[in-house]
Amino acid sequence: MTETTAISAWPREVLGKANRRLASEGKIPAVLYGAGRDTMAIALDRHDFELMMTHHGAGSTLVSIALEGEKKPVNAVIKDVQHSPVKGTILHVDFLAIRMDEKLQAVAGFNFVGDAPGVKAGGVLMHALREVAVEALPTDLVEAIDVDISGMEIGDSLTVADLVAPRGLEIIGDPEAVVCSITVPTLEPAEEEGAEEIAEPAVIGEETAEESGAEEE
């Protein structure tokens, strides 16, 4: 079951380029929409939101937004987080307001558990997918699905169809997509000992010092 995280937010009238003022105030511009609500521009405390994102991810994290001026918190999920391509700082956040009694689609990552015999034998665990599409009630969403690799040998692979979903969660991603596999490590060819050095070709018309000396004698 997903954990609900509470954050505070304020309605904002500052839009467009004027949002730079929010940055100087330690706030992040955001938008809230969905669940029959009118789209609303809001602002978040940068420190609190960045701290939350160090422990949670977008898509499946259930957020309870205490919005200034509204009596009840708004339940939502994070749909998108825009980052600065230069500094990597958060520029904007999209929240989707949700109903707790309606299923929604999200994505979940993977938590690989167990010790694979194939890895112990020298194989390499390759991750082919980073996340998979899921569907559930908001309280049944998870950020990561456990993937048991304890029975994998070299040459084995696990697909989405092999995943065991937690109770209340349905995996809707492509069942044939490979999640991970164990492969034989690729070795770089070693340099052969005693390899002859390739002589640099002489420039036509130039004489070596030895040849020149021989002609003078």
pLDDT digits (tens, 9 = 90+) for 31-73: 999 988 999 999 999 999 999 888 776 666 789 999 999 999 9
Domains of the chain (ranges; CATH) run: 4-97 (2.40.240.10), 104-183 (2.170.120.20)
Q: What pLDDT is stored for residue 176 in this prediction?
A: 97
The predicted pLDDT at position 97 comes to 95
Instruction: Confirm if 111 and 76 have CB atoms less than 8 A apart.
Output: no
Tokens representing residue 52 in the block: 């939350």
CA 98, CA 62: separation in Å to the nearest integer? 9
In this prediction, residue 217 carries a pLDDT of 47
Predicted local confidence at residue 165, as pLDDT: 94
Q: Cα separation of 97 and 131, whole Å?
A: 22
Rg (CA), the chain: 29
Average pLDDT by consecutive 10-residue portion of the chain (217 residues)?
Answer: 82 71 86 93 93 75 91 92 90 94 92 96 95 93 94 97 95 96 78 52 50 49
Q: What are phi and psi of 144, to 5 degrees?
A: -150, 145
Provide CB contacts within 8 A for 95, sequence distance 6+. Answer: 30, 31, 32, 33, 42, 63, 65, 76, 77, 78, 79
pLDDT for 25: 85
pLDDT in tens, 84-100: 899 889 999 999 999 99
User: Counting every residue, how long is the chain?
Assistant: 217
How many CB atoms neighbour CB 125 within 10 A? Answer: 14
0.75 surpassed by pTM: no
Alpha-carbon gap, residue 96 to 39, rounded angstroms:
10
pLDDT of residue 172: 95
Rounded CA-CA distance 132/144 in Å is 9
